[in-house]
Structure 1
Amino acid sequence: MRYLISARVRPGKRAELLTALEDGSFGAGFPYGDLGAVLRRGRVDASGAIRWVEVCYCRESYGVAMEEELPYLEAYLTDIVVADARSPARCEGYPACNDCDCTRKVRFEGKPLVEHLRRTVAESGEVSGAGRPTRWLGWRGRVTPEEAGRNRASGRNPE
C-alpha cells in the first residue's frame, strides 16, 4: 500500500534529524529499504508540516499501517498522520505496489525537507516538548480495527 504521510519535527530535534539524514544514519537497522531517502523526498509546507509518500506492507502483515517504520519516524517526528493514498480495494498490494505508479501525480507544496532543516536548524527558540501521538486516517475514514484501537487509546480519533 502507498500512504500519504504528514508529520512535524519534534521540538528540539531539528539538528539531530538533519545530521541523521545527511550522514545516512536515519533509519539505520530498518530491513526494508532506506527510510532516510524516502523522508528526504518530503516537502515542508508553510505550516511546518512535512508531507511525503511511503510504500509499506505492514497493514497486510500486522493490521496496522507503518508498524515497522514508526519507531524510526517517531524518534524525530510528531503529529504523524497516515492516510491511504488510494482506496485499498483498488490496490494490488505486495509486491505490485512497489512498482505501481498510482502516486506519480502526487506533488506536495513546500520546500525540500533537508533545505528547510538547514535553514531552520540555526534559528534559536526551539522548545522541547513531547509532541502528539500518531493518528491513522485510512481511506475516507475507514481504518483497520487495530488502527482504530490505537487512535482511541491515544485520544487521536480521525477528525
Structure 2
Amino acid sequence: MRYLISARVRPERRSELLRALEGGKFGAGFPYGDLGKTLCEGRVDPSGTIRWVEVCYCREFSGVAMVEELPYFEEFLTDMTVTDARSPRLCNGYPSCSTCDCTNKVRPKGEPFLDHLRKSIHEPTEEALPPGRSTRWLGWRGAVTPEEERRNQSAGYGLDKSRCAPEIDKS
C-alpha cells in the first residue's frame, strides 16, 4: 500500500536529523528500503508540516500501517498522520506497490524538505514547546483497521467504530 504521511520535525532534533539524513544514517537498520530517501522527497508547507508518500506492507502483515517504520520516524518527527493514498480496494498490495505508479501525480506543495530543514536549524527553538501528538491513522476516508483504531483511541483521538474497517477489502 501507498500512504500519504504528514509530520512535523521535533525542533530539538533538527540538527541530529539533518546529520542523519546527509550522512545516510537515517533509518539505519531498517531492512526494507531507504527511509531517508523517501523522507527527503517530502515537501514542507508554510505551517512546517512535511508531506510525503511511503510504500509500506505492514498493514497487510500486522494490521497496522507503517508500524515497522514508526520507530525511525518518531525519533525525529511528531504529529504524524498516516492516510491511505488510494482506496485499498484498488490496490494490488504486496509486491505490486514497489513498481506501481498510482501516486505519481501526488505532489505535495511546498519547499523541499532538506532545504527547509537546513534553514530551520538556524532558527531559535522556544524553550516551552507544547508536546507533539502521537501518530494518528486516518486510513481511507476514515476507515482504519481495528488495531489502528485502538491505537488512535489510546492516543486520545477518540473511538468511532463506524469508521473502523474489519478487513481491508482489495477486491
Q: Normalising to structure 2: TM-score of the pair? A: 0.89
Residue 140 of structure 1 is matched in structure 2 by 141
Q: Structure 1: which 5+ residue stretches go unaligned? A: none
Residue 44 of structure 2 is matched in structure 1 by 44
Matches within 5 A, 1:1-159: 1-127=1-127, 130-157=131-158
Whole-angstrom distance in 2 between the partners of 1:129 and 1:51: 21
Q: Measured at CA, do residues 157 and 85 of structure 1 come closer, stay the same or move farther in structure 2, by a change above 3 Å? A: farther
Residues 3 and 55 in structure 1, CA contact (< 8 A), matched pair in contact too:
yes
Shift of 1:149: 0.4
Over the matched positions of the two proteins, sequence identity in percent amounts to 65
Whole-angstrom distance in 2 between the partners of 1:67 and 1:50: 19
- Choose between structure 1 and 2 for higher RCO, CA contacts under 8 A separated by at least 6 residues: 1
Q: CA RMSD in A?
A: 1.5
Runs of 4 or more off by more than 4 Å in structure 1? none
Q: Normalising to structure 1: TM-score of the pair? A: 0.96
Q: Measured at CA, do residues 109 and 158 of structure 1 come closer, stay the same or move farther in structure 2, by a change above 3 Å? A: farther
Whole-angstrom distance in 2 between the partners of 1:126 and 1:43: 23
Residues 86 and 140 in structure 2, CA contact (< 8 A), matched pair in contact too:
yes
Shift of 1:126: 3.9
Q: Structure 2: which 5+ residue stretches go unaligned? A: 161-171
Count of residues in Structure 1 that have an aligned counterpart in Structure 2 = 159
Q: Deviations over 1:107-157 (max 9, x none)?
A: 111111110011110111344554110000000000000000000011024
Whole-angstrom distance in 1 between the partners of 2:157 and 2:141: 16
Whole-angstrom distance in 1 between the partners of 2:20 and 2:131: 20
Residues 11 and 125 in structure 2, CA contact (< 8 A), matched pair in contact too:
no
Residue 168 of structure 2 is matched in structure 1 by none
1:85 maps to amino acid: A
- Pick the structure with greater CA Rg: 2
